[in-house]
Amino acid sequence: MKRVYVSAVLVLAAAGCKKDKGKEPPPTKADDAAVTAAPTPEEATAFMAEIDKGLRAAWTRRDLADWERSTNITPETEAAAAKASEEAMAYLTRSIKEAQKFTPVLGQLDEATRRQFHLLRLAGQTTPDDPAKASELSKVITEMDSTYGKGEVCDAQKQCKDLGKLSDILAESRKPEELLAAWQGWHDTVGRAVRPYYERFVPLANEGVRAAGWKDVSELWLSRYDMPGDAMVAEADRLWTQVEPLYKDLHCYVRRRMSARYGADVVPPTGPMPAHMLGNMWAQAWGNVYPLVEPFPGQPSPDVSKAMVAQTYDATRMTKLAESFFTSLGLEPLPATFWERSMLVQPEGKKVVCHASAWDPTWSGDVRIKMCTKVNQEDLITLHHELGHDYYFLYYHQLPMLFQDGANDGFHEAIGDAVALSVTPAYLNKVGLLKKVADNEKAVVDQQMYTALEKIAFLPWGLLVDKWRWEAFSGKITPAQWNDRWWELRRQYQGIVSPVPRAATDFDPGAKYHVPANTPYLRYFLAAILQFQMHRALCQTAGWKGPLHACSIHGSQEAGAKLAALLAMGSSKPWADALEALTGQREMDATAILDYFAPLHAYLKEQNAGQTCGW
């Protein structure tokens, strides 16, 4: 929107008015500035209403095009997605620039409108002023994501494996040479392919966000938490110090058991562990090596994957089971369009981005999931996680566009995981997937070990990915230092090292989806903290009196009502307000993790007594 201001001098001249004597002096810039009226609060409010309409149109076009690309990668869908992304970024950039003129009247606006102005500046990647660079940025973003999605590792006979097949090898094989081939193949092929795009992306992205007044992308990302960026870094570090001792005890125990299984030449009994031996491409979750480190073999397995296969579960039935948990809390069923529009399995004959994600591409409750579901417990838990996103979308989609987000991005990731913590053995027994619930001390430790290998093993990974990117975006490290610094952070936080030497020209960060997809990652670390804090609060609301790890809120309408109230807030309030509404606390707190895993931590300390832990 533009206002037309007319100089008072020109108005007087047009009316035929003259000074008594002498010639009228020509108007000056100072004269114009003196008489130009400041924007009014009413104009600021009207401007934001127009921005709400414009963002809905631009982001809907972008997200629908990206849905088509993600579920059918072709040159045509890539081009369409890049064009829609470019247009959306251009609109956001213009909107942020135009909004700056209302700064003088922000203090006179109502709280909701004032917060929308604040969130607009934080709303996403903006474009460089140079149209050619703006176009290049959108293409680079699309091509990075598609390069990852199309990634395959092919042998000399041109037999190719995508990430799903390689992940199966890492999860199931017990042959170190097969594990190494799968790990190295993906990192060499995909990481190296992403690198040239990322080298161009970083300066373009930084130039783009400077249009909104940020020094670089890292400053923008860290400013999204209702506190200064350096305070958010300190907050993340504080949370890590709360959970680091539990992680190090888990690492010590797993390393010793894996070394005993494979030998010291494959997994050394001291120091860091090699990245390819933990059942996951990024060693971010270790659940697949549970059979190798199980504390008390012979106890009932907490994994119901075999039962799901035996009972002929498929992706739809798994999704309906996850939905039934949310509806048991009193939340609404998923709309019929969810089942019509979701991609629940990998389609034949198409290249797709299999990384699981939840969508509302029209920002109107048009929720859906994109996922190459496999019939196993891991994907059942993932479905609970993704439906957590979709239920967030459903409960806030009537809010203004800039409020259609989590209280912070960690909230969005935490909701489904907090619900999934209630997928306890007792619950799995209730739905017929677990024949017997064992609650003796040994069974509890086994169950907690299984959970910890996913959730506690993840914590340092969840923190280090963005610690690396903050340095890359800020220029603290140069492209020549990128890969070395990646492995320094992995050793420092995870106690993980590469199984083979890596060159400075490699790009192992690019072997993880969220880097080429340019998705901030601190959210996952915060979610790993928040989910337990939320779970503890919801269990208290449900009236649970037993140990936290045994609580399931399934069927609690009281817990569901409290959860729904949080979901409906979106990002309309600062996250501390939203957290307080659910938990009574205004600070993120990792003590709930320690409460939850108290039985396991006691066992680990006992097992590690006299051992050399750390790395």
DSSP string, 170-186: HHH---HHHHHHHHHHH
Single out the residue of 126, 133, 185, 130 nearest to residue 161, CA to CA: 185
Distance CA 148, CA 465 (A): 17
Catalytic residue among 68, 207, 219, 386: 386
Two structure tokens written together for 510: 């690019």
Helix (H) or strand (E) holding 74, with range, is none
- Banded pLDDT at 87 (limits 50, 70, 90): very high
Catalytic residue among 8, 514, 576, 581: 514
Which of these ranges, 29-38, 60-69, 522-531, 567-576, has the smallest mean pLDDT? 29-38
- Banded pLDDT at 374 (limits 50, 70, 90): very high
Check residue 268 and give its pLDDT: 97
Check residue 302 and give its pLDDT: 74
Distance CA 422, CA 426 (A): 9
Residue 389 annotated as catalytic: yes
Residue 207 annotated as catalytic: no
- Banded pLDDT at 546 (limits 50, 70, 90): very high
Per-residue pLDDT, averaged over 17-35, amounts to 44
pLDDT at 30 over 70: no
Residue 427 annotated as catalytic: no
* pLDDT tens, position by position, 302-319: 789 999 999 999 999 999
Distance CA 1, CA 326 (A): 43
Catalytic residue among 187, 276, 384, 385: 385
Check residue 19 and give its pLDDT: 35
Q: Is 359 helix (H, G, I), strand (E, B) or coil?
A: strand
Per-residue pLDDT, averaged over 2-22, amounts to 32
Residue 24 annotated as catalytic: no
Distance CA 164, CA 371 (A): 11
CB atoms within 10 A of CB 93: 21
All structural domains of the chain with their residue ranges: 1-37, 305-444+534-573
Catalytic residue among 413, 443, 521, 528: 413
pLDDT at 66 over 90: yes
Rounded to 5°, the CA angle 276-185-497 comes to 30
* pLDDT tens, position by position, 287-300: 999 999 999 998 87
Residue 413 annotated as catalytic: yes
- Banded pLDDT at 26 (limits 50, 70, 90): low
Catalytic residue among 187, 355, 384, 535: 355
Q: Are 344 and 358 in contact (CB under 8 A)?
A: no
Per-residue pLDDT, averaged over 471-495, amounts to 98
Rg (CA), the chain: 27
Residue 356 annotated as catalytic: yes
pLDDT at 401 over 80: yes
Q: Is 609 left (phi over 0), alpha (psi -120 to 50) or beta?
A: beta
Q: Are 186 and 509 in contact (CB under 8 A)?
A: no
Backbone torsions φ then ψ of 183, nearest 5 degrees: -65, -50
Share the mean pLDDT of the chain.
92
Catalytic residue among 392, 524, 596, 603: 524
Residue 34 annotated as catalytic: no
Query: Position of tokens 């001390």?
Result: 441
Single out the residue of 328, 313, 453 nearest to residue 380, CA to CA: 313
CB atoms within 10 A of CB 439: 12
* pLDDT tens, position by position, 252-283: 999 999 999 999 999 999 999 999 999 999 99
Residue 412 annotated as catalytic: no
pLDDT at 557 over 70: yes
